[in-house]
Structure 1
Amino acid sequence: MKKWKCDFLGTYLKRLWNDDLVNSNQKNDCSPILKQTLVALAPLLLTICSGMTSGYSAILLPQLKMNSTININDEEASWIASMAALPMAIGSVVGGFLVEKTGRRATHAISCMPTLIGWLLIYFASNIEMILAGRFVTGFCVGLLGSATGVYIGETSEPAFRGFLLAGISFSIAFGLFLSHLLGTFLHWRTTALISSLLPIASQLILLFVPESPSFLAKKQDQEKAEKSFYWCRGHTEQAKKELTIMLERQKQQVPTSQATSIRDRIDELLVPEFLKPLGIIVVFIVANQWAGINAITFYTVTIMKKTIGEGVNEYVAMLTVDTIRVLMSILACILLRRLGRRPLAIVSGIGTSLALISLSASIYLAKFYPNLTFGTYIPMTSLVAYIAFVSVGFVPLPWAMIGEVFPMKTRSIGSGISSFMAFTAFFTVVKTSPGMLAELGTSGTFLTYSVVATVATVFVCFYLPETKGKALHEIEDKFKDKALKTAKVKHDNH
């Protein structure tokens, strides 16, 4: 019986890969959306692991300080907390290179083994050096995924479901944070690390049965494999056939990367409006995303809760409360991106984030001078919850989702690498400067600073953020080209 089941599974997976090539008129055994979800599941499992990497220090450090065979001081604790963030920006640069040279799927496959090794280093750690090494390796892999995940999901999903699947990136990070804090609340830090190490194994197994990105294969001049991959993911609908034809025709018109050997040729590929405009939009949006302060809350939940609400805050309850709100709002973001679109969600999220931060800052400031006011802790608490909800439903998921949509096929890996590098650099600066800002500006001043960033970002997206809902990737690219051509035509007519 067991052998029969294994043979049946093997035969089904093989047929799942080949069914679209056997007969283009044959009905698929598995619907395209299920296949696209399967493709997305592998990188999203690794992204959950990324969330666990960011959240792990919050449960590791208290256990090491309270009762552990590894003794640490405050300086060593700060290094453990920040060690994962240090290599993220570097990892995003390496990830951008791997996405371009080895492929989108291949980059995720390459990330699985070092991620596993990093968590096992922590699990078997007998000294602080092994913990630091494990944190560094897992943080580096988070950077690798920042460049690859959005691009891979964006290129393998159809326009109708692309926003939903791309929003899964933010959900996976939020769920990873929640999972690491939940496990660490009840389990030993070594057990939590061991459970975390299972995710890259599961991801690697799924990657064995899903194809490489059709856009990457087309870029490498492998038309047969590109068609096979595209039809496996998308089926044989008229819309899919049209998109495939356009993608292959455009790729034939481009000079192969291997022939563009000079530095000048590479630079010229980047100095075009269809690359520079989306790069500017995403970089501003993603840096503002970080400086709206959500990761300051994530890393310093207890400190901020005590300053905002009072001293009687249970640190584990505070962490899990914040995590639960983020997870729920990330789920809502997946649904809203499927139904609404990018621009409306970004604007509503930005306005809500700004107002909640201003309310939070004002209520904390007034409480210093009027401690007997009747609103007590209700307004600060309500404002804090509203802030986490609004920033998590739009500002957090949208930039990462749109990385996989707005860049042209030829320079998509470079655009994702630069955007991820800027995001992780901003991430590190926010986490590093938050304690100093809380000390120098106070809690009200810190949140006021974040509110200014959120307000400026909201105005920016109102004017410049494109709507990509329901559009094929080549249509998004053409939109930036059309704008550039219209601008050039106006300038020419004026002269």
Structure 2
Amino acid sequence: MAQNNRMQYLATCAVSIATMTTSTAAFWSAPILPKFHNNETSISLTSNEISWVVAIMAPGMVTGSLVPSFVSDKFGRRVTLLTSAFPFIVGTVFVLCATEAWSLYIGRFLWGIGFGMITTVSSVYLSEIANKEIRGTLTAITRFMSSFGALLVLGIGSYVTYQVLSYFMIVLPICYFLACWRIPESPYYLLKEGKVDSARKALLRLSGSKNDKMVEEKLSLMRSDVRREMLRSSSVKELLTGKQYRKAVIMSAGLRFTQMFAGTLPIQQYIGRIIQQSNSGFQVSTALVIFGIVRFIVGIISPVIVDKMGRRPLLIYSYLGSFVMLTSVGIYFFFQKIVGIQEESSNPFRYIVFIGIVSSIVISGIGYDTLIFIIPSEIFPMNVRSVASTTLNVFTALLSFVAVKGYQPLEDWTGLYGVFWFYASMALSGAVFSHFFVLETKGKSLREIQIELQGNIYDDSDEDSKKVTTDDVKENTELKELT
């Protein structure tokens, strides 16, 4: 890594421990549910109670996504990251001490709050501290660590007790709290608050440069951008109705919608059952471990690829690749039901389901599953960035609830082949959507992206911002007065 990017990578590593914590919380249920069913814990739960334990994180994610809209803009990105550790710690205490279902509900709900806070603020923070040349790589690193967290839970969860896995869940938030204690605040946020001296110091740390002139030039550009963007409203209403944000909103919402209904999350939740129904001969525990390893490897590859290829072509090709894989899995289940393929020993195509699902995971992990988090952090201007991140997280949580809860009714109605063909059709829709509506952001500064998205509207706001001159605003108070 380049020496002047060292602090940016260190800050990303600290944030990555937080994103790793979210994935361990999300995948905790995969190895734990069999323990509940096999009475390997001291907690006795009905099937209905178990389903609520799994589902209760989604409402928590909605709540957690709303918190940063206040905390992040009031106290800063760093403070929000630090605060998010407490719901995980307190939630894990409830999980560890649980003797009844309600304690698990509270614990998982609190995990959802921490999950929502981290996913909302981490992408905003990284987009604001990163140089444009490595911005995609830094965000993709957090996705890699998320995959690593999933691997740990899936790999060890089946072989340790409920208590041991839960203790592991309390260590991670403590680790990322300590790691994030030393990271610098976002210079953009500090400028928004009028703390120019603090922003200068943060920028010096992040750039690792001793060239004061270069730092001052970059700071001047940042001040100009923040001044322009803070002249505008930052409400949800402004985000959804403002003409200047329309393209960014359509891009982000469309990508989240097609990604979620292309089956990424439902397949992850139901992969064990799908493997059982495929008669492939794989043990569920083995499939879970391989699944975790594949996600981990993809996490290593994606940071390398995401800044080598453009965002738009990678989106298109990954959606098309998933379309092919998901279609092939659907075809297998169609022939299984119509022709009656049942015996695994005599079925020469019995590995199609496993290979198709794993290939889809690889393709989507390198492509759209990573890029749907990178692109929104790049295309929204400063004044609505936190609001946009919060709104997208709430939107995603609602979509995830519908997608996961809708899996079983869809299977009952159409069979597994209908489920996978539906996912394939959504993947194809994602490719079409990316071709016609997604802007290429690779190698562009946040300013250049806004100029391309907003066109004349951005130019008009630039003229408005010129009315606010440096002489009119005093150092350390100028931007604060504008808000």
TM interval, short-chain normalised:
0.7 to 0.9
- Pick one of 308, 313, 316 that aligns with 2:278: 308
**Pair 1:309–1:227, CA change in 2 (3 A):** farther
Task: Give 1:161-172 correspondences, 5 Å limit.
Answer: 161-172=134-145
Does the alignment pair 1:244 with 2:219? yes
Is the Cα–Cα contact under 8 Å of residues 157 and 234 in structure 1 kept in the other structure?
no
**Pair 1:402–1:115, CA change in 2 (3 A):** same
* Paired residue total: 452
Unaligned runs of 5+ in 2: 460-483
Give the residue type in structure 1 aligned to 2:450: E
Is the Cα–Cα contact under 8 Å of residues 349 and 391 in structure 1 kept in the other structure?
yes
Does the alignment pair 1:56 with 2:28? yes
1:324-369 per-position Cα deviation (integer Å, ceiling 9, x unaligned): 2122112211110121121121111111011111111112212333
1:275 Cα shift?
2.0
Q: Which residue matches 1:358?
A: 327
Higher mean Cα deviation, 314-323 or 133-142? Answer: 314-323
Higher mean Cα deviation, 64-73 or 346-355? Answer: 64-73
Q: Which residue matches 2:127?
A: 154
CA distance in 2, matches of 1:256, 1:308: 57
Q: Which residue matches 1:382?
A: 355
**Pair 1:62–1:479, CA change in 2 (3 A):** same
**Pair 1:50–1:470, CA change in 2 (3 A):** same
Higher mean Cα deviation, 89-98 or 282-291? Answer: 89-98
Q: Which residue matches 1:295?
A: 265
Q: Which residue matches 2:295?
A: 326
Give the residue type in structure 1 aligned to 2:339: Y
Q: Which residue matches 1:77?
A: 50
Q: Which residue matches 1:317?
A: 286
**Pair 1:369–1:269, CA change in 2 (3 A):** closer
CA distance in 1, matches of 2:238, 2:410: 41
- Pick one of 249, 257, 280 that aligns with 2:250: 280
Scaled by the length of structure 1, the TM-score of the pair is 0.86
Give the residue type in structure 1 aligned to 2:309: L
1:93-134 per-position Cα deviation (integer Å, ceiling 9, x unaligned): 222332222211111011112211111221232332222211
Give the residue type in structure 1 aligned to 2:323: S
1:31-65 per-position Cα deviation (integer Å, ceiling 9, x unaligned): 33221111112221111111111111122222123
Does the alignment pair 1:125 with 2:98? yes
Scaled by the length of structure 2, the TM-score of the pair is 0.88
SS at match of 2:439: coil
**Pair 1:84–1:359, CA change in 2 (3 A):** same
Q: Which residue matches 2:417?
A: 444
Task: Give 1:135-284 correspondences, 5 Å limit.
Answer: 135-236=108-209, 241-253=216-228, 267-268=237-238, 271-284=241-254
Unaligned runs of 5+ in 1: 1-29, 487-495
Alpha-carbon RMSD: 2.4
Does the alignment pair 1:349 with 2:318? yes
1:307 Cα shift?
2.0
1:371 Cα shift?
4.2
Is the Cα–Cα contact under 8 Å of residues 468 and 476 in structure 1 kept in the other structure?
yes
**Pair 1:254–1:382, CA change in 2 (3 A):** closer
1:293 Cα shift?
0.5
Give the residue type in structure 1 aligned to 2:28: Y
1:254 Cα shift?
5.1
Is the Cα–Cα contact under 8 Å of residues 229 and 382 in structure 2 kept in the other structure?
no
**Pair 1:467–1:239, CA change in 2 (3 A):** farther
**Pair 1:319–1:117, CA change in 2 (3 A):** same
Task: Give 1:2-151 correspondences, 5 Å limit.
Answer: 31-66=3-38, 67-151=40-124
Give the residue type in structure 2 aligned to 1:252: R
User: What is the percentage of aligned positions where both structures have the same residue?
Assistant: 25
**Pair 1:256–1:278, CA change in 2 (3 A):** closer
SS at match of 1:129: helix
1:215-260 per-position Cα deviation (integer Å, ceiling 9, x unaligned): 1111111111112112211233677654432110233345568xx7
CA distance in 2, matches of 1:269, 1:86: 23
Q: Which residue matches 1:425?
A: 398
Q: Which residue matches 2:463?
A: none
CA distance in 1, matches of 2:405, 2:220: 48
SS at match of 2:252: helix
Q: Which residue matches 1:414?
A: 387
CA distance in 1, matches of 2:279, 2:164: 33
